[in-house]
Amino acid sequence: MACFLALCCAATPALAQKTDKPALQAKQGKDQKKRKVTKAGGTPAKAALVRSSGVKSSKLQASTQPARASFGQMAGLHAVSDPLALRSSVALVIDQDTREVLFSKNDLAVLPIASLTKLMTGMVVSEAKLAMDEPITITQDDVDTEKGSTSRLRVGATLSRGELLHLALMSSENRAAHALGRTFPGGLPAFVAVMNAKAQMLGMKDTRYVEPTGLSSRNQASAQDLALLVSAASADPLLRELSTSLGHQVVLGRQTLQFNNTNRLVSSPQWDIGLQKTGYISEAGQCLVMQAKVSGRKLIMVFLDSAGKFSRLADAERVKRWVEKSPVSHSGQAGALPAKS
- In sequence order, what DSSP letters do the residues of 219-259 get, joined into one string? -EE-HHHHHHHHHHHTT-HHHHHHHT--EEEEEETTEEEEE
DSSP annotation of 93 reads E
Q: Identify the structural domains of the chain with CATH numbers, from first to last.
A: 1-32 (no CATH), 78-325 (3.40.710.10)
How many Å apart are CA 113 and CA 133, to the nearest integer? 30
- pLDDT for 308: 84
How many Å apart are CA 210 and CA 219, to the nearest integer? 6
What does the DSSP assignment read for 270-309?
T--EEEEEEEEETTTEEEEEEEEEETTEEEEEEEEEESST
The secondary structure element, H or E, covering residue 104 is strand 101-105
How many Å apart are CA 34 and CA 41, to the nearest integer? 11
Q: Write out the catalytic residue numbers.
A: 115, 118, 172
Residue 83 to residues 105, 313, 333: CA-CA distances in angstroms?
10, 17, 11
How many Å apart are CA 292 and CA 274, to the nearest integer? 5
10-residue mean pLDDT series, the chain (341 residues): 40 39 49 42 40 40 63 96 96 97 97 98 98 98 94 97 98 98 98 98 98 98 98 98 97 93 97 98 97 97 93 97 75 43 36
Q: Helix, strand or coil for residue 261?
A: coil
- pLDDT for 36: 41
- pLDDT for 68: 85
- pLDDT for 326: 76
pTM of the model: 0.79
Residue 90 pairs in a beta bridge with 304
CA dihedral over 38, 44, 49, 51, signed as positive or negative: positive
Q: How many helices (H) and strands (E) does the chain have?
A: 13, 11
How many Å apart are CA 110 and CA 206, to the nearest integer? 7
The secondary structure element, H or E, covering residue 325 is helix 311-325
- pLDDT for 66: 58
273-281 vs 101-105, strand pairing mode: unpaired
Residue 282 to residues 66, 176, 219, 274: CA-CA distances in angstroms?
12, 21, 13, 27
How many Å apart are CA 48 and CA 51, to the nearest integer? 5
